[in-house]
Chain A
Amino acid sequence: MTTWAQGLDGSLWARARDPRTSGVAGLVLGVVACLLALPPIGERSILGPILVGVAASMLGLWTATRGRRRLGWGAVAAGLIGLALGVLATRSSTSNLNIVFTASLIASMFVFSTPLVFGAIGGMFSERSGVVNIGLEGMMLMGAFWGVYGADRGGSWVVGLLVAMLAGGLLALVHAFFAIHLRADQIVGGTAVNFLALGITGYFFFQLYHGEDVPAGVSTIPNLKIPGLDHVHFLGAAFGNLSLMVWLSFALVIVSYLVLFKTAIGLRIRACGEHPRAADTVGINVYAIRYASVVVSGILAALGGAYLSIGFGGGAFTDNMTAGRGFIALAAMIFGNWRPFGAFGAALLFGFSTALAYRLPAYSGSAATLFQALPYVLTLIAVAGVIGRTVPPAADGKPYKKQ
């Protein structure tokens, strides 16, 4: 750990001169250009967004000429889009802006992104070990239903989370068995898992609760109040009262980054996903690693699902509650290029677009509906290679047979 910190310290200046830094700075400035006109800053002249947007584009151009072309052009695009949006926002009425862009928009961004973070990180573990997991949707749905069931019967949200993790893990185990031992097509298996989860949760929902609302007063996951932050302008409303699961999702991203890229276990997982034969040759038990990774992905996805029902859902469950969130989580994982922070960033972006879609009716109701398609369109653009290139693990989806 110390060597890693020293390495970071020594290369600080080298990093600052790296064109990558200027590219990222350009991207950030692009976002700032569009944020300038929004509350709490609320710049009303068009000069601010234009200056910052142009600066972002210049940084992007500089990056592009220094070899990092994709990042550079990305920053140029971010600068121009930020400039356009920023100018547009200064033309919008202040009252509308104040309705849509409040600190609680940040809070609701986290609310919507948290299930996606859990799902996307879960999917990442599975796919990094070489098992495609499009059954995330089903595993989240299992978590959502069995989370409520556990919290209802067990009397505590802790029991709910445990039952959810168990249910998601079991469904993932089914997927793992068919994908790993039986070497079935993993996509067909994932599709089957989604059907099964829909059927199982629906069946028990009608059997146990008659398809109506779960009795009110189910224990729900508490919010964490940060002492002292309440009175801080903006930050208080944005971060002061977030669910425990939101903070857990932040921790999960950091932990999964450390596990995946800084530990021997992470190296083994990635080896199984890139070249299982080589991993097997050096004595790694490919089957065990893949089983463990898929089950972990099911457990994490189920936690994301449980957050839907006994988190911000307030202890309610509805038939097919996830409604495609598992697929957005999958999209976030791909958009984030199978990396923890990438997936986290994508989940935040998708969460933000959902949060925004809920507020856009202030401008136009029908546009808000159309806005919901944005994550999917962005992912299409990402996989088309327009923004960077998405590279899945080399052996992702390929069954491995021991020799």
Chain B
Amino acid sequence: MSEDEQGGLVSGAPTVAERLALAQRAGGVLGSLLTAAVAFFVGGLVVLASGANPLSTYRAIFDGSGLNWLFPWVTGDDRSFAAANLQQTLLLTTSLLLCGLAVAFAFRSGLFNIGGQGQYLVGSIIALWVGASFETMDGPLHIVLAIAAAALAGALYAGVAGLLKATVGAHEVITTIMLNWVAVWVGSWLFGHGGALQSHANGGSIPVSDPVSPHAHLPVFWGSPVLQGLDVGLFVALAGLLVYAVVLNRTTLGFEVRAVGFNPEAARYAGMSVARTYVITMAIAGTFAGLAGAVDVLGWEFQLGVNDVQTSQIGFIAIAVAVLGRNRALGVLASALLFGALLTGTSTRNLDPTVFRADLAANLTLIIQGLVVLFVGADVLVLWLWNRRRRLRAAVT
């Protein structure tokens, strides 16, 4: 809908603005880079306003994220610190990537899945429950079972929103927001005092779950398994990314998803079942988010408490990941890495406190995130400014 209007904004022969719009639509890379640049620029102004140097702050965040590991001249102790930081960044990238795919996949069929957080929580709760039970089960089988159960749970949970959209036309934004909070409170109940999954250790005084049994942990392939090294969940996420790209671009289902997203009426006229597509799309989106919950729980969290359930933000950040990545596979990968690095780099543990206060930096991340979403949502902004400039110029001459 917005694309028609963009086209309609400029009439007549192809102007620079029209070509710019075309470039945005074709690749989206330019728009995304511009958006990120503007957001970081405004973020820099905020840093400047609180009396710190924006350049050295961003440099410290970059170092804190461990991305300096990529530079061959970083050696010795610095290098091992950087490696540990980069492992943290990639752990976050893993779940951001999967949740980002959950939001992006739904976007492609025109559905706004704000429920990534709820689907992620349901996935992690189920993965934890399976992982902490069945003590005698064989290791790899246990892991596969936990992951599959979490993915299924995520799919079913998101499917509720898809089903309501398909049958009674309930807006998916409303239903997924409600489902998010239902998941938060059910999770708080499960792990809270007297909850069904609360640990009985310590006389049941701490509101946390039992830990995942050690043989159901995902193997760590980089770094120390004790100090939250990087686990194979990253490959699960990359496989998810591949599935995302193949399903969307190379299958009938993907064609239907995109067709419905482009114009549901035309898709219906062409004989596609829009209702069925909505349900399947949401279920697939929920699968991605459920997987994210599973790899987090089995990869490094191992235990969930009421606090984890209530403060987790992965599914919300994933909205920024998806929109900045323009819902395309490589775009989502790049922006998941960007936000993973930003979150790790601004954490209290990783940011050099002599350069910038970490408590401020964590909120700086939120501001940048908000600006990114705000600007990405408005690709007309560029055109609007362009038209305004042209009108101004016309007025002057």
Q: Give chain A's interface residues, CB within 8 Å of chain B.
A: 132, 134, 174, 178, 181-185, 187-189, 191-200, 202-203, 206-207, 211, 324, 327-328, 330-331, 334, 364-366, 369-370, 372-373, 376-377, 379-380, 383-385, 392, 399, 401
B49 closest partner in A (C-beta): A207
Interface string of B268-289 (1 = CB under 8 A from A): 0000000000000000000000
Chain B interface residues (CB < 8 Å from chain A): 2, 5, 8, 46, 50, 112, 114, 164, 168, 170-171, 173-175, 177-179, 181-182, 184-186, 188-189, 192-195, 316, 319-320, 323, 357, 359-360, 362-374, 376-378, 380-381, 384
Cβ-defined partner of B186 (8 Å) among A183, A184, A200, A373: A373
Residues of A within 8 A of B364 (CB): 199, 203
In the assembled complex, the Cα of A331 lies from the Cα of B170 at a distance in Å of: 13
Question: In the complex where A182-B384, A184-B377, A198-B366 touch, is A207 in contact with B360 (Cβ < 8 A)?
Answer: yes
Q: Are B164 and A206 in contact (CB under 8 A)?
A: no
The answer to whether A369 and B360 touch across the interface, beta carbons within 8 angstroms, is no
Task: Take A384-B170, A385-B170 as given contacts and tell me if A191 and B373 are in contact as well, using a CB distance cutoff of 8 Å.
Answer: yes
Among B173, B178, B184, B192, which residue has its beta carbon within 8 angstroms of that of A379?
B178
Q: Could you tell me if B181 and A324 are in contact, using CB atoms closer than 8 angstroms? A: yes
Q: Are A203 and B46 within 8 A (Cβ)?
A: yes
Q: Are A195 and B170 in contact (CB under 8 A)?
A: no
A181–B385 alpha-carbon span in the complex (Å) = 11
Which residues of the partner chain A approach B368 to less than 8 Å between Cβ atoms?
A: 199
Determine the distance from Cα of A135 to Cα of B359 in the docked complex, in whole angstroms: 24
Q: Are B369 and A199 in contact (CB under 8 A)?
A: yes
On whether the beta carbons of B181 and A327 are closer than 8 Å, the reply is yes
Chain A contact surface mostly = helix
Assembled-state Cα–Cα distance A266/B176 (Å): 31
Among A182, A206, A330: residue with most chain B CB under 10 A = A182
Contacts of A195 in B (CB 8 A): 316, 320, 366-367, 369-370, 373
Contact between B174 and A182, CB atoms less than 8 A apart: no
Q: B168: nearest residue on chain A (CB-CB)? A: A385
Kindly list chain A residues whose C-beta atoms are within 8 Å of the C-beta of B360.
203, 206-207
> What is the bound-complex CA distance between A134 and B114, given in angstroms?
11
What would be 25 A-B contacts, judged by CB atoms less than 8 Å apart? A134-B177, A174-B374, A182-B381, A188-B376, A189-B373, A194-B370, A195-B316, A195-B367, A196-B374, A203-B363, A206-B359, A206-B360, A327-B177, A334-B174, A366-B189, A366-B192, A366-B193, A369-B185, A370-B186, A373-B185, A373-B186, A379-B174, A380-B179, A385-B168, A385-B170
Return B208 CB to nearest CB of chain A, in Å: 14
Enumerate chain A residues within 8 angstroms of B170, measured Cβ to Cβ: 383-385
Closest to A396 in B: B171
Chain B contacts for A380, CB-based, 8 A? 164, 175, 178-179, 182
- Complex Cα gap A202–B121 (Å): 24
**Separation in Å of the A326 CB from the closest CB of chain B?**
10
Q: How far is the CA of A381 from the CA of B181 in the complex (A)?
A: 14
Contact call B112/A187, Cβ cutoff below 8 A? yes
**Given A199-B363, A379-B174, 5 further pairs, Cβ under 8 A:** A188-B112, A192-B374, A206-B357, A366-B189, A373-B182
Contacts of B376 in A (CB 8 A): 188
